């Protein structure tokens, strides 16, 4: 941790574990260090980063205003898989926010992440530690494969327990807008602050690639079935991503089951690592079973739908 802290302080970039996915972090107040993150990921500069904090005092460095609703959500879900988009403090570098007048902030629920931010003495800007458009990492080995020599250090904290990224909520005047479904179920957020709007993919100018049609894509194309009964398990060239254990036989060597008993929390935790495993098999397509669309199932289906598409605003970023 001493070495990691020294790297952050001197403008380096470090992959570190959080409860959702691994992040690729740099000092949020060092624009050159943040630029290295974009370079390492091949991430377009118009795509802003989430800034990670270790205590509420760091909020005032980042946000110019924290209203009541933001305070209530932070009090209830931090540390945890919730990101708040708030009016930004002018000191936050433009490269972090892609020139927007808002900043995305989250306090991760992971001791290593919190310790790293705390020791570095600065908020840490960090996207997920994958190449842009590819599957998010939930193990240090995923980061090593995708970014290996491009980062100054990878901290191995084992498997991420939540497994899907944070829920992003934008509080805009009196509007509550869900920019990306994630680790905190939308139902729990609405229970605290009232109804929230879902931003749809058709909306013109996406602020979050959570809103881009395609993301989280393996190299092998993904097809999302309407129903497990529609899946042709006799296809020799296909791998299968199933929500739960079916009551009939399936080709187990080409099948990943997210949760034997169909538990959404367990399924979310296993989602990206199952996609990584399938992507390494000698198959030509991954056929996925849908999951129920409530609670964490909303975030899982969002990731599966995006994995099944390959184009981002007419540009193919999947390669
Ligand atoms: O769980 C997570 O959120 C993980 C871990 C590492 O914390 N991070 C993560 O970062 O998923 P990333 O970069 O993969 O996704 C961040 C999302 C992007 O969709 C980005 O567009 C959006 O946050 N975002 C960042 N700042 C924003 C802003 N000011 N307004 C709207 N969206 C913003
Ligand atoms: Mg990401």
Give me the CATH number covering residue 122.
3.90.870.10
Q: Please say if the pLDDT value at position 123 is more than 50.
A: yes
Q: How confident is the model at residue 36 (pLDDT cuts 50, 70, 90)?
A: very high
Q: How confident is the model at residue 310 (pLDDT cuts 50, 70, 90)?
A: low
Residues 236-261 have a mean pLDDT of: 97
Whole-number pLDDT of residue 309 = 86
Task: For residues 164 and 305, state if they share a domain.
Answer: no
Task: For residues 54 and 9, state if they share a domain.
Answer: yes
146, containing H or E segment: helix 140-147
On whether residue 234 sits in a domain, the answer given is: yes
- Reading the block at residue 312, the tokens are 């981002």
Q: Is 21 in the pocket of ligand 1 (CB under 6 A)?
A: yes
Q: Please say if the pLDDT value at position 315 is more than 80.
A: no
On whether residue 209 sits in a domain, the answer given is: no
Task: For residues 106 and 52, state if they share a domain.
Answer: yes
Give the integer Cα–Cα distance in Å for 278 and 174: 43
Closest CA to 51 of 11, 10, 89: 89
pLDDT > 70 in the chain, percent: 92
Domain termination site, one of 198, 231, 266: 198
Residue 80: what are its φ and ψ, rounded to 5°?
170, 180
Q: Is 50 in the pocket of ligand 1 (CB under 6 A)?
A: yes
- As residues whose CB is below 5 A from the ion ligand 2, the structure lists 128
Query: Measured from the CA of 180, which atom of ligand 1 is nearest?
Result: 19
Taking each continuous run of H as one helix and of E as one strand, the counts in the chain are: 10, 16
199 vs 110, more confident: 110
Task: For residues 14 and 55, state if they share a domain.
Answer: yes
Å from CA of 304 to ligand 2 middle: 14
Maximal CA-CA distance, the chain = 59
Task: For residues 169 and 279, state if they share a domain.
Answer: no
Å from CA of 128 to ligand 1 middle: 8
Q: Is 85 in the pocket of ligand 1 (CB under 6 A)?
A: yes
Q: Is 117 in the pocket of ligand 1 (CB under 6 A)?
A: no
Choose one of 24, 206, 208, 299 to mutate for the ligand 1 pocket test, by most ligand atoms within 8 angstroms of C-beta: 208
Asked if the peptide bond before residue 224 counts as cis, ω within 30 degrees of 0, the response is no
Q: Which residue has the tokens 């791998």?
A: 239
CB within 8 A of 61, min separation 6: which ones? 29, 89, 91, 92, 123
Whole-number pLDDT of residue 215 = 73
Query: Measured from the CA of 100, which atom of ligand 1 is nearest?
Result: 29
CB count within 10 Å of CB 262 equals 15
Whole-number pLDDT of residue 208 = 57
Whole-number pLDDT of residue 317 = 41
Closest CA to 169 of 86, 109, 100: 86
pLDDT > 90 in the chain, percent: 89
Number of domains comprising the chain: 2
Q: How confident is the model at residue 313 (pLDDT cuts 50, 70, 90)?
A: very low
CB within 8 A of 73, min separation 6: which ones? 82, 84, 169, 189, 192, 193
Closest CA to 92 of 30, 144, 179, 148: 30
Task: For residues 82 and 167, state if they share a domain.
Answer: yes
Give me the CATH number covering residue 296.
3.40.50.11030
- Reading the block at residue 212, the tokens are 């881009």
Full residue range of the structural domain in which residue 187 is found = 2-198
Q: Is 130 in the pocket of ligand 1 (CB under 6 A)?
A: no
pLDDT in tens, 198-248: 986 545 454 555 555 567 788 999 999 999 999 999 999 999 999 999 999
Task: For residues 226 and 192, state if they share a domain.
Answer: no
How high is the mean pLDDT of the chain? 93
CB count within 10 Å of CB 226 equals 9
Q: How confident is the model at residue 307 (pLDDT cuts 50, 70, 90)?
A: very high
Query: Measured from the CA of 164, which atom of ligand 1 is nearest?
Result: 1
Give the integer Cα–Cα distance in Å for 25 and 96: 11
Q: Is 137 in the pocket of ligand 1 (CB under 6 A)?
A: no
User: What is the value of pTM for the model shown?
Assistant: 0.93
On whether residue 215 sits in a domain, the answer given is: no
Residue 38: what are its φ and ψ, rounded to 5°?
-60, -40
Whole-number pLDDT of residue 155 = 98
Question: What string of DSSP letters covers 122-185?
Answer: S-EE--BSS-TTBPPPSSHHHHHHHHGGGSSEE------SS-SPPEEEEEETTEEEEEE--SS-
pLDDT in tens, 128-156: 999 999 999 999 999 999 999 999 999 99
- Ligand 1 atom 15: residue of nearest CA: 127
pLDDT in tens, 157-188: 999 999 999 999 999 888 999 999 999 999 99
On whether residue 217 sits in a domain, the answer given is: no
Å from CA of 253 to ligand 1 middle: 35
On whether residue 212 sits in a domain, the answer given is: no
On whether residue 110 sits in a domain, the answer given is: yes
Query: Measured from the CA of 104, which atom of ligand 1 is nearest?
Result: 26
């Amino acid at each position: 941790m001493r070495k990691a802290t020294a790297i952050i302080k001197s403008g380096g970039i470090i992959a570190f574990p959080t409860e959702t996915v691994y992040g690729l972090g740099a000092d949020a107040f060092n624009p050159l260090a943040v630029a290295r993150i974009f370079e390492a990921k091949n991430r377009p500069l118009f795509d802003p980063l989430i800034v990670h904090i270790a205590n509420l005092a760091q909020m005032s460095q980042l946000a110019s205003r924290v209203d009541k609703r933001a305070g209530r959500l932070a009090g209830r879900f931090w540390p945890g898989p919730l990101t708040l988009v708030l009016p930004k403090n002018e000191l936050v570098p433009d490269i972090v926010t892609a020139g927007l007048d808002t900043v995305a902030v989250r306090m991760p629920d992971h001791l290593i992440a919190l310790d790293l931010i705390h020791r570095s003495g600065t908020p840490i800007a960090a996207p997920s530690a994958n190449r842009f458009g590819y599957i998010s990492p939930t193990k240090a080995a995923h980061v090593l494969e995708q970014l290996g020599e491009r980062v100054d250090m990878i901290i191995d904290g084992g498997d991420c327990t939540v497994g899907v990224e944070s829920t992003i909520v934008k509080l805009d005047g009196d509007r509550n807008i869900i920019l990306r479904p994630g680790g905190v179920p939308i139902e729990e957020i609405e229970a605290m602050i009232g109804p929230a709007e879902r931003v749809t993919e058709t909306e013109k100018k996406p602020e979050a690639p959570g809103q881009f049609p395609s993301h989280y894509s393996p190299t092998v194309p993904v097809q999302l079935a309407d129903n497990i009964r529609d899946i042709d398990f006799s296809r020799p060239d296909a791998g299968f991503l199933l929500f739960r254990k079916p009551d009939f036989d399936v080709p187990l060597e080409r099948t990943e089951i997210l949760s034997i008993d169909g538990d959404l929390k367990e399924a979310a935790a296993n989602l990206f690592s199952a996609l990584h495993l399938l992507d390494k098999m000698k198959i030509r397509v991954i056929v996925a079973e849908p999951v129920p669309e409530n609670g964490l199932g909303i975030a899982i289906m969002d990731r599966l739908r995006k994995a099944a598409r390959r184009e981002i605003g007419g540009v193919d970023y999947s390669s």
